[in-house]
Chain A
Amino acid sequence: MAAHHWRPLPGAAVLWAATLAASLLPWAVEAQTFSQQGYLETQLRAYPQTAPNDSGQFIGDALLHWEPTIKRSAWRLNAGFDARFDSHRMVERTPDVSYWDRETQRPAFDVSRLSVSWARGPLTIELGKQFVRWGKADILNPTDRFTPKDYLTVLDPNVLAVTAAHVTIAGQSDSVDLVYTPRLTPSRSPLLNQRWVVLPETVRGYLLQDGGAAYPGGPQFGARWNHMSRRVEYSFSYFHGFNHLPLFQANFDPVLGAVDVRRRYAELDTIGSDAAIPLPWFTIKAESAWYRSNDRQSDQYVLYVVQAERQFGEWLFLAGYVGEYITDNRNEISFDPERGLAKAFVGRISWTIDTRRSLVFEGAVRQNSEGFYGKLEYSQLFGQHWHVTPGVVLIRGSENDFLGQFHRNSFANCAIRYSF
């Protein structure tokens, strides 16, 4: 296992990327296959309460996202670039461009996607930084192992792409996915000095230091077979690699009175399955995965989701349960929001009011009532480009519960997006 801090791409890479883009542009325009889309989004979040390790109550954030695409016969180049800024240092203040997404903070400039794909007949090959999504459930996807996320604000994670070779062979009713990634892209866990890390009472007087991460050196591999039929869709998957969510090692330095927190990523094998069964009155979706690891600190368990959904006109109702069965408890110390949702009832109700307005409520409540999370979000489109989305999130519960520990982090939010 190689331990190192990830160094982002140097600023000169921006120049290189711009040169490459400029050189490709005439080719793309000539072929009439260039398309693009993106958005500029600003967001203001207000927390009514301070947290013990974070006095900030108002956070502003701006994101420019641009997705150019070039298509030429069977070839396709997909790219995505992000530029960010925020008021709370969740975003880096250096002008470096990130590709591997291994920074603890969000990068100011990020290549969020950069892949080339080729498709002919039933075969599709995609190489580069791309999104690989597995699973059918809407609430949580235990089989979705190539999908690290940005969890800096835990409850509204953004998916990160992975650098991979992805081969798909798809027929009319069956498809096989083979994925190989040369290195791990980790999920981004909450920052130690911010409110989404809730410290136990025992360490609240000490200085916490980020001790960096020990990234495993090996590649990852996964395979998935999916079958579609009239009455059911199902798939089976296998993953061998590493958990993109970290285990923590804490070392106390008595001289400095500081706790050094280091992240590492355990080896992981999963065997998963998922299914969607459309019934006359509602659709059942189920997904489960068995997580196995040789790591002595890593638990072994089965994580599963069962949900039912039903559409009534413009209303969509979704209700489900996230469960967990631990086969080997090794008292792991980790950050795992997927398991953090286990043993909870979850639901979502969305209402499309008209062509411009919608309202969504989603929530999760722990079966022992120790944690609750609810989100109400209203969305309105103005003209063809502007979208305003105000919302509130309420979190309640006990300190010992994964959801409940964030009870000081209820917030109100307003996002304004200009799409182009």
Chain B
Amino acid sequence: MNKLTLVLIVFALPLICLAQAPREIVNEVQTRSHASSEQYEGLLQVVDSGGKISDKRWTYVRIGSHGNSKAVIRFLNPPEVKGVALLIFNNPDRASDQWMWTPALNRDRRIALQDRSTRFFGTDFSFEDLEERDVDHFEFSSKGEESLNGEECWKIESKPLASQRSQYTTSILWIRKSNYTYAQIENYTGAKLVRRLKYKDVQNVQGIWTARTLEMEDVTRKSRTILKLDSLKYNTPVRSEEFTLQALRRG
């Protein structure tokens, strides 16, 4: 080893240490967005391939820590789907458990694992997209850095662990360096891009940087769903008994 190499190593070492591993970055995103509870009213605009727009509205309530939480989504509008609800148990060690309540039938139905790729009630979100992605469920590798819409981002590839079942084989994550929030996620099945999720309108809400607008694009169908988060609140008191099948049926 010559002197020049040694000098380069000595000067580069702090920089190497400063560069975070991709898993740490994703973990930091998760840590910074931690809240014991979350609730919002979501306004959804579904834009089909022909440009037709249909509006939907739902309420979202979550309790528990990231990756080990429970959530309820309940439609408020349009009248056709009012009252339809989804209960999600996000599990730390496996895929989530989900149940859907359809008031017109007075029946609930467990969403089977193989059904998770299905679109959720006419939106471009699949059932799987509504569950939380815990850092421990994936392996990560760095794809470098990239500027997205003028913002410096880390570009990270994530693959579900062999023990996890997912419709996506690979996801590419863009994470903003400025505030450790997601800027975009592209989901692939094999080499084919299936869905693209954009995180926009980032605001600081109760100390948590949050994208107030999410845009999910179904690349195959050429349709997209824009979800705007209204009345967003973190860490408000939420009763755990609201996250049971019985509560789902009660409405």
In the bound complex, CA of A278 to CA of B96 (Å): 13
How many of chain A's residues touch chain B, expressed as a range? 35 or more
Q: Does B207 contact A (CB under 8 A)?
A: no
User: What 0/1 readout, one digit per residue, does chain A (105-146) give for beta carbons within 8 Å of chain B?
Assistant: 000000000000101111010000001010000000000000
What is the minimal beta-carbon distance from A192 to any residue of chain B, in angstroms?
A: 30
Residue in B79, B114, B247 whose beta carbon sits within 8 Å of that of A119 in the complex: B247
Known contacts A37-B79, A354-B48, A356-B54, A168 near B114 by CB under 8 Å: no
Count CB-based A-B contacts (< 8 Å).
93
B52's closest neighbor in chain A, by CB?
A356
B46 at the interface (CB under 8 A from A): yes
Residues of B within 8 A of A159 (CB): 106
Query: Which 10 A-B pairs rank lowest in CB-CB distance, beginning with the nearest?
Result: A419-B79, A355-B122, A170-B246, A311-B115, A278-B112, A283-B112, A384-B78, A131-B106, A133-B106, A37-B82
Select the residue from A175, A278, A355 with max chain B CB neighbours within 10 A.
A355
Give which listed residue, B46, B97, B113, contacts A280 with CB less than 8 A. Answer: B113
What is A's interface to B at a CB cutoff of 8 Å?
Answer: 37-39, 69, 76, 117, 119-122, 124, 131, 133, 159, 168, 170-172, 175, 228, 230, 233, 276, 278, 280-283, 309-311, 313-314, 352, 354-356, 381, 384-385, 387, 419-420
State A192–B102 Cα separation when bound (angstroms).
34
Question: Which of chain B's residues has its CB closest to A381's CB?
Answer: B80
Docked-complex contact A168 and B79, CB < 8 angstroms: no
- B65 smallest CB distance to A (angstroms): 17
In contact, A385 and B251 (Cβ under 8 angstroms): no
Write out the residue numbers on chain B whose beta carbons fall within 8 Å of the beta carbon of A120.
241
Tell yes or no: B117 within 8 A of A by CB. yes
B107 within 8 A of A: yes
In the complex, A283 Cα to B113 Cα: how many Å? Answer: 9
Is there contact, CB below 8 Å, between B245 and A278? no
Contact across chains for B54 and A384 when beta carbons are under 8 A apart: yes
The B28-54 residues at the A interface (CB cut-off 8 A) are 46, 48, 52, 54
**Contact for A313 among B52, B97, B118, B241, CB less than 8 A:** B118
- Is the contact region of chain A dominated by helix, strand, or loop, or is it mixed? strand
Residues of B within 8 A of A (CB): 46, 48, 52, 54-55, 77-80, 82-83, 94, 97, 106-107, 110, 112-115, 117-119, 122-123, 221, 223, 241, 244-247, 250-251
* A311 vs chain B, min Cβ distance (A): 4
Q: How far is the CB of A140 from chain B (nearest CB, A)?
A: 13
Shortest Cβ distance from A277 into chain B, in angstroms?
10
Q: Name A309's closest neighbour in chain B (CB-CB).
A: B112
Establish whether residues A170 and B244, one from each chain, have CB atoms under 8 Å apart when the complex forms: yes
Residues of A within 8 A of B123 (CB): 355
B241 touches which one: A121, A281, A420 (CB < 8 A)?
A: A121
Choice from A124, A314, A381, A387 contacting B118 with Cβ under 8 Å: A314
Whether the Cβ atoms of A37 and B118 lie closer than 8 Å is no
From residue A134, how far is it (CB to closest CB) to chain B in Å? 10
Q: CB-nearest residue of chain A relative to B93? A: A230
Chain B: CB-nearest residue to A355: B122
Residues of B contacting A282 in the complex (Cβ-Cβ under 8 angstroms): 112, 114
Known A175-B245, A385-B79, A419-B79: A117·B110 in contact at CB below 8 Å = no
Contact call A230/B94, Cβ cutoff below 8 A:
yes
Determine the chain B residues whose CB is within 8 A of the CB of A39 once the complex forms: 79
Asked if A420 and B79 make an inter-chain contact with CB atoms under 8 angstroms apart, the answer reads yes
- For B80, what are the chain A residues with a Cβ–Cβ distance below 8 Å? 381, 384-385, 387, 419
Question: Contact at B118–A233, with CB atoms within 8 Å?
Answer: no
* B116: nearest chain-A partner, CB-CB: A311
Given contacts A283-B114, A314-B118, 4 further A-B contacts (CB under 8 A): A122-B246, A278-B114, A311-B118, A352-B122
Please, which residue of chain B has its CB at the minimum distance from the CB of A226?
B245
A278 touches B113 (CB 8 A): yes
Task: Collect the chain A residues with CB atoms within 8 Å of residue B110's CB.
Answer: 233, 276, 278, 283
The answer on a CB contact under 8 Å between A124 and B250 is yes
- Option from A117, A276, A355 in Cβ contact (under 8 Å) with B46: A355
Query: How many angstroms from the CA of A119 to the CA of B242 in the assembled complex?
Result: 10
Q: How far is the CA of A230 from the CA of B94 in the complex (A)?
A: 10
* Chain B residues, Cβ within 8 Å of A385: 78-80
Q: Which residues of A contact B54 (CB under 8 A)?
A: 355-356, 381, 384
- Nearest A-chain residue to B115, judged by Cβ: A311
CB distance from B133 to the nearest CB of A (A): 19
Smallest CB–CB gap between A286 and chain B, Å?
Answer: 14
26 A-B pairs with C-beta separation under 8 A: A37-B82, A38-B79, A69-B251, A119-B241, A119-B246, A119-B250, A121-B241, A133-B107, A170-B246, A175-B245, A230-B94, A276-B110, A278-B112, A280-B113, A280-B114, A282-B112, A309-B112, A311-B117, A355-B48, A355-B123, A355-B223, A384-B55, A384-B78, A385-B78, A385-B80, A419-B79
Nearest chain B CB to A264's CB is how many angstroms away?
28
